[in-house]
Structure 1
Amino acid sequence: MSTYTNARLVTPTGVIGNGWLTTEDGRITGLGEGPREGGRDLEGAFLAPGFVDIHVHGGGGHSAMTSKDSIREAVAYHRTRGTTTMLISLVTAPLDHMERAAGWIADLTEEGLIAGGHFEGPFLSHARCGAQDPDALRLPDVAELRRLLDAGRRTIRQVTIAPELVGPSGDTGLDLIRECVSRNVVAAIGHTDATYEQAAAGFEAGARLVTHTFNGMRGLHHRDPAVVLAAAERPDVILEVINDGVHLHPSVVAMLDRIAARRLALITDAIDATGIGDGEYRLGAMSVVVKDGEARLATNGSLAGSTLTMDVAFKRAVQAVGVPIEIASFYASAIPAQVLGLTDRGLLAEGQRADLVVLDDALDLVEVL
């Protein structure tokens, strides 16, 4: 058994000062307030649940689209930044490449390294493709979706879809959403030109997530509130947020916290450049230039993922956006775990996995346990 004492425990209901927490066999066995004999003195540091990132393409110089070993290295990097559970995201590519990468994800999920995979494409809107390869985008085809999901051997947990699309066979984005739901796969709406009505139809069909809210979709307009308001009106829909100060202004994140309270999931959308620095990189087939930490397509300057890490997203939620630390923790850990149906992690509570991060007064990461 391990015991941690003199910690500020970040729980769902608030911070417990001078707290203690015990673990055994990888699980939290108890926690409380007050002095405790023995164990490790954390000297007043914050102790919070490990971060859960449901949208990450790479990191530490390694891309998920390159090889299984590259995924391993990206996971290892993000773990040093406090992400203890992650979903590996694949960008749009030819179907055979996506199938091959889905096989890598299946192997690593079965090994227990990751929580599964996310197809960010290929059934996305050309009008809102962002950094997705426009030449590899495809119109809805349920048979092709099944082919991709089968390649993942039941480890693909999430698929991003533009609900307004219609394929030549008559299959629609709504049909793809229903197919995902039938397979217990989270359907996300993103990279979409959907109107409010089309987005609402997508949520009615079973979509329960918005991929990087506001990015890769119509904006919130007073005559066409589009995806964002359609999502905010649904209490069962979670909204992803890239909280790096580039993709979203802090005041916009604060607005989302008001209109979709306790329904935000902090994500990184991190690419291979994360943790490496400025330079030239590739995101799938697309050439990316990173300057001053911003990743943009070399061709048109469109944002191309981020160089964000979850510890920074969490810190910014508190310091730049102004949400209470326990809510920031909820958005960085419990909510994304909830999206994946992982009820055994994301909270400081008895019986939960003992995936923990230690943070100093400035909310900088000190240690990953």
Structure 2
Amino acid sequence: MTLEGNILTPEGWFRGELTIRQGRIAGVSGTPVDPEENDALRIIPGFIDLHVHGGGGADFMEGNDALAVLARTHARFGTTSLLGTSMTASREALIHAFRDAGRVVAAPPAQAADILGIHLEGPFISPDMLGAQPPHARPGTIEAFDELDALAPIRVITIAPEIEGHMALIETLAARGVRVQLGHTAATHDQCVDALQAGARGFTHLYNAMSGLHHRKAGVVGAALAHGEYAELIADLVHVEKGALLAARRAIPHLYMVTDATAAAGMPEGEYRLGEHRVFKQGNSVRLADGGLAGSALTMDVALRNLAGLGLSLAEASQRLSLWPARYLGLSNRGVLTPGYRADIVTLSSRLDVEQVWVAGQTVID
């Protein structure tokens, strides 16, 4: 199979052909081009979303086939790889959701994004920084982690480092290769620095549900801006306004975007589930009954257009939705369009609307 258009490669944009063979990129050829000078398709790497609670009406915590439904839903919007993401819940509810998620991971659904594993967002978080998380926060142990990891592979975990015992847990999990993120936390700047030295690598939905930046109390946000190499940010321009996003972009070398999407993603306005909560999609936001933000209805194609609207080039926006999350997770076979890599590909119109999506060379939408 051969695609023709403006191809985003590690060396820049080329007008030419990209060949797919046996699920991988077999070759890229062409001549340098400015994609703004023509209306040909923009061919870019598929999006990688490391924080997805739901989509298509399905919530990860429901279990059953919810993970498959959300993976199919987000694939329609250009996401070719993702992490299903849990909510803070009781042990029994987490075991139910993880058992069913493990079954889906073991038998991947067709016409869906590749499910890389799970992002465990809670319950090892601060009860004082729940955000929209249900009130089941508790200290973490390696035994509790292992019980869930045995059911479905945990690739990323969100932890509040100030909780007693968590610094040692961070060190243990980091040594295993788990990506530890600081989030839903009231930690001080210095506690975050200690956590980074213990092996934490990132920050969960930067700015949201964490101690903010004050000039005499730097907090988690200050630690991220001063010391972070990686951090995720919800790019719906509701959770974080444009000035704060641009400040983080300038400070954090590998800032990448996530959706934090709920069951409302890809669905009309109405009432949906988010863990134990009922949430309501209203316009481009998802809220609790009291009006507080509760995840999002964002899809990655909208995130791309939001970044472009802030003045980022399409090449940089693509990096922040594909390359940096791939590098953060240690994925060496996706995130760029180059021979030998997985054929995870999105084509866009000149208006940046999704036209076609391939996951490992298989057409998802056309």
**Same fold, TM exceeding 0.5?**
yes
Indicate the SS of the match to 1:107. Answer: helix
Indicate the SS of the match to 2:74. Answer: helix
Select between 81-90 and 111-120 the one with higher mean Cα deviation. Answer: 111-120
Q: 1: distance between equivalents of 2:118 and 2:20?
A: 29
Q: 2:149 matched to 1:149? A: yes
The residue type paired with residue 289 of structure 1 is F
Q: 2:288 matched to 1:306? A: no
Aligned to 1:59: 55
Q: 2:93 matched to 1:102? A: no
Aligned to 2:25: 28
Of 8, 11, 20, the residue aligned with 1:10 is 8
Aligned to 1:287: 278
Q: 2:312 matched to 1:315? A: no
The residue type paired with residue 157 of structure 2 is V
Q: 2:103 matched to 1:91? A: no
Q: 2:251 matched to 1:259? A: yes
- CA shift, 1:27, in A, is 0.7
Aligned to 1:325: 314
- CA shift, 1:100, in A, is 2.3
Q: 2:176 matched to 1:183? A: yes
8 Å CA contact 1:10, 1:48 repeated in 2? yes
Q: 2: distance between equivalents of 1:365 and 1:213?
A: 27
8 Å CA contact 1:119, 1:159 repeated in 2? yes
Aligned to 2:288: 297
Unpaired runs of 5+ residues, structure 1, are 36-41, 167-171
- CA shift, 1:142, in A, is 3.4
Q: 2: distance between equivalents of 1:129 and 1:304?
A: 11
The residue type paired with residue 354 of structure 2 is L
Aligned to 2:119: 118
Aligned to 2:362: none
Aligned to 1:270: 261
Q: 1: distance between equivalents of 2:16 and 2:92?
A: 52
- CA shift, 1:13, in A, is 4.1
- CA shift, 1:322, in A, is 1.5
8 Å CA contact 1:277, 1:293 repeated in 2? no
Question: What's the CA shift string for 1:28-73, capped at 9, x where partnerless?
Answer: 11112249xxxxxx96110000111110001011111112312111
TM-score (norm 1): 0.90
8 Å CA contact 2:189, 2:217 repeated in 1? yes
| Cα pair distance change 1:246/1:313, threshold 3 Å | same
Q: 1: distance between equivalents of 2:169 and 2:319?
A: 30
Aligned to 1:247: 239
The residue type paired with residue 283 of structure 1 is L
8 Å CA contact 1:55, 1:270 repeated in 2? yes
Question: What's the CA shift string for 1:190-249, capped at 9, x where partnerless?
Answer: 0001111111111111111111000110112211222233223336x3110111110111
- CA shift, 1:327, in A, is 1.2
8 Å CA contact 1:68, 1:104 repeated in 2? yes
Structural RMSD (CA):
1.8
TM-score (norm 2): 0.91
8 Å CA contact 1:53, 1:86 repeated in 2? yes
Aligned to 1:347: 336
Q: 2: distance between equivalents of 1:202 and 1:347?
A: 31
The residue type paired with residue 106 of structure 1 is G
Aligned to 1:75: 71
8 Å CA contact 2:63, 2:96 repeated in 1? no
Aligned to 2:212: 219
Indicate the SS of the match to 1:78. Answer: helix
Aligned to 2:44: 48
Aligned to 1:38: none
Question: What's the CA shift string for 1:70-111, capped at 9, x where partnerless?
Answer: 211111111111111110000011112212222222222233
Unpaired runs of 5+ residues, structure 2, are 33-37, 109-113, 359-366
Q: Stretches of 4+ moved more than 4 A in 1? A: none
Q: 2:135 matched to 1:138? A: no
Aligned to 2:194: 201
The residue type paired with residue 151 of structure 2 is A
Q: 2: distance between equivalents of 1:264 and 1:331?
A: 7
Select between 75-84 and 273-282 the one with higher mean Cα deviation. Answer: 273-282
The residue type paired with residue 283 of structure 2 is D
Question: What's the CA shift string for 1:244-292, capped at 9, x where partnerless?
Answer: 110111221111111113x012100000011112222221111212212
